[in-house]
């Protein structure tokens, strides 16, 4: 029976093949092996996948408000920016993490607890690009947001149709609402952009404050809601579509941006526990996850 022994030394691979009474020795430089492997991949029509360095995911504890940071492979993406008095705290958190530039900011809709801190944030951090829904709101926070965007000459994309962004090792699918903005009704939640983030084999779904007809469309009109991590919509409020949302998404983790003063609905908490979905609430502290491309770990 043949026996093979392999030894690595000084950048070379030495292979001893023993068969009967014969001995064959092959010594190949590691650089040569890498070249051979690359050629084989190219011949098969493949290219090596870029290595994933890992993604840190934060949901900041700022009360009943949203601000999420995704930091990965040297890139940094922020989804929403909390209330006006959260701007300085968010900027301090980014500074603590060594972040002075955001590659993308996604503002899901124009309620004050999602855009309020943006103007203050821009005074401390460079923002390369903003994506927002395609409507205009008459509010103090909206005007401050637009003044900051214009003052710092930040490129803006207003979405009226679905779009996708690829940044380093992550893909961002962003779904625009099917609803029409009604200023009198104040249906901003129904204009929430939905963001599906794929990093390696892990998928996260950020639902903004999706509500009513928009949430109904998301559940019943063919959207792929499957995910490992679900940023639960509307701060954990119970809605009649929640059972369908959870059945279609079946996440391992649900992030709830609630507070001790304004906690998630009891029905929501019970539904998550019944499905054995781990609840990660910002009412207690910042939520911090680490994703290596295949698994999600709570930090």
Please tell me the distance from the alpha carbon of residue 60 to that of residue 257, in angstroms, as a whole number.
8
Q: Are 29 and 253 in contact (CB under 8 A)?
A: no
**Range scoring the smallest mean pLDDT among 48-62, 200-214, 230-244, 260-274:** 48-62
Q: How many residues make up the chain in this entry?
A: 299
Residue 101 — pLDDT band, cuts 50, 70, 90? very high
Please tell me the distance from the alpha carbon of residue 14 to that of residue 21, in angstroms, as a whole number.
19
Please tell me the distance from the alpha carbon of residue 242 to that of residue 219, in angstroms, as a whole number.
9
Residue with tokens 């698994």: 295
**Range scoring the smallest mean pLDDT among 43-47, 247-251, 292-296:** 43-47
Residue 51 — pLDDT band, cuts 50, 70, 90? confident
Tokens of residue 81, six digits: 């920016």
CATH code of the region 55-298 = 3.60.15.10
Cα→Cα distances 166→37, 108, 135, 171, Å: 27, 18, 24, 4
Of the CA atoms within 13 Å of residue 87, those in its CB half-sphere come to 18
> How high is the mean pLDDT of the chain?
89
What pLDDT score does 123 carry? Answer: 95
pLDDT reading at 15 higher than 90: no
pLDDT reading at 49 higher than 80: no
**pTM score, two decimals?**
0.84
Please tell me the distance from the alpha carbon of residue 292 to that of residue 294, in angstroms, as a whole number.
6
Cα→Cα distances 146→3, 69, 76, 79, 161, Å: 71, 21, 22, 17, 21
pLDDT reading at 12 higher than 90: no
What pLDDT score does 3 carry? Answer: 46
Please tell me the distance from the alpha carbon of residue 219 to that of residue 287, in angstroms, as a whole number.
26
Which tens digit of pLDDT belongs to each residue from 130-184?
A: 999 999 999 999 999 999 999 999 999 999 999 999 999 999 999 999 999 999 9
Give all strands (DSSP E) within the chain, no chain letters: 3-9, 12-19, 22-29, 55-59, 68-72, 75-79, 101-102, 104-106, 126-127, 130-133, 156-159, 163-167, 170-175, 194-199, 202-206, 229-231, 253-256, 278-281, 287-291, 296-298
Structural domain boundaries in the chain: 3-43, 55-298
What pLDDT score does 261 carry? Answer: 96
Residue with tokens 């430089």: 29
Give all strands (DSSP E) within 37-154, no chain letters: 55-59, 68-72, 75-79, 101-102, 104-106, 126-127, 130-133
Helices H / strands E in the chain, number of each: 8, 20
What pLDDT score does 274 carry? Answer: 98
Q: What is the mean pLDDT of residues 272-295?
A: 97
Q: Is 294 exposed, middle or buried (0-12, 13-18, 19+ CB in 10 A)?
A: exposed
What pLDDT score does 36 carry? Answer: 40
Please tell me the distance from the alpha carbon of residue 265 to that of residue 101, in angstroms, as a whole number.
36
Please tell me the distance from the alpha carbon of residue 228 to that of residue 240, in angstroms, as a whole number.
22
Q: Are 128 and 104 in contact (CB under 8 A)?
A: yes
Please tell me the distance from the alpha carbon of residue 102 to that of residue 131, in angstroms, as a whole number.
12
* Rounded (10°) angle between helices 242-249 and 266-274: 30
């Amino acid at each position: 029976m043949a026996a093979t022994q392999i030894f690595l030394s000084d950048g070379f691979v030495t292979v001893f093949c023993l068969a009967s009474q014969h001995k064959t020795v092959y010594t190949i430089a590691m650089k040569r092996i890498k070249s051979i492997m690359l050629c084989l991949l190219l011949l098969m029509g493949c290219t090596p996948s870029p290595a994933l360095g890992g993604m840190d995911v934060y949901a900041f504890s700022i009360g009943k408000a949203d601000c999420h940071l995704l930091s990965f492979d040297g890139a940094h993406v922020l989804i929403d920016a909390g209330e006006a008095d959260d701007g300085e705290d968010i900027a301090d958190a980014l500074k603590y993490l060594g972040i002075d530039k955001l590659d993308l900011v996604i503002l899901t809709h124009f309620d004050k607890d999602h855009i309020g801190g943006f103007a203050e944030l821009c005074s401390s951090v460079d923002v390369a690009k903003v994506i927002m829904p395609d409507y205009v709101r008459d509010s103090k926070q909206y005007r401050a947001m637009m003044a900051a965007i214009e003052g710092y000459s930040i490129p803006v994309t207003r979405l009226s149709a679905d779009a996708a962004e690829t940044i380093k090792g992550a893909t961002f699918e962003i779904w625009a609402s099917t609803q029409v903005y009604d200023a009198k009704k104040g249906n901003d939640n129904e204009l929430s952009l939905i963001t599906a983030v794929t990093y390696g084999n892990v998928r996260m779904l950020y639902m903004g404050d999706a509500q009513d007809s928009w949430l109904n469309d998301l559940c019943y009109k063919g959207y792929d809601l499957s995910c490992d991590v679900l940023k639960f919509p509307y701060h954990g409020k119970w809605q009649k579509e929640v059972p369908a949302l959870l059945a279609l998404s079946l996440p391992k983790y649900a992030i709830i941006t609630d507070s001790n003063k304004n906690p998630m609905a009891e029905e929501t908490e019970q539904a998550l526990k019944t499905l054995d979905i781990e609840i990660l609430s910002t009412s207690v502290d910042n939520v911090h996850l680490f994703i290596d491309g295949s698994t999600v770990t709570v930090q």
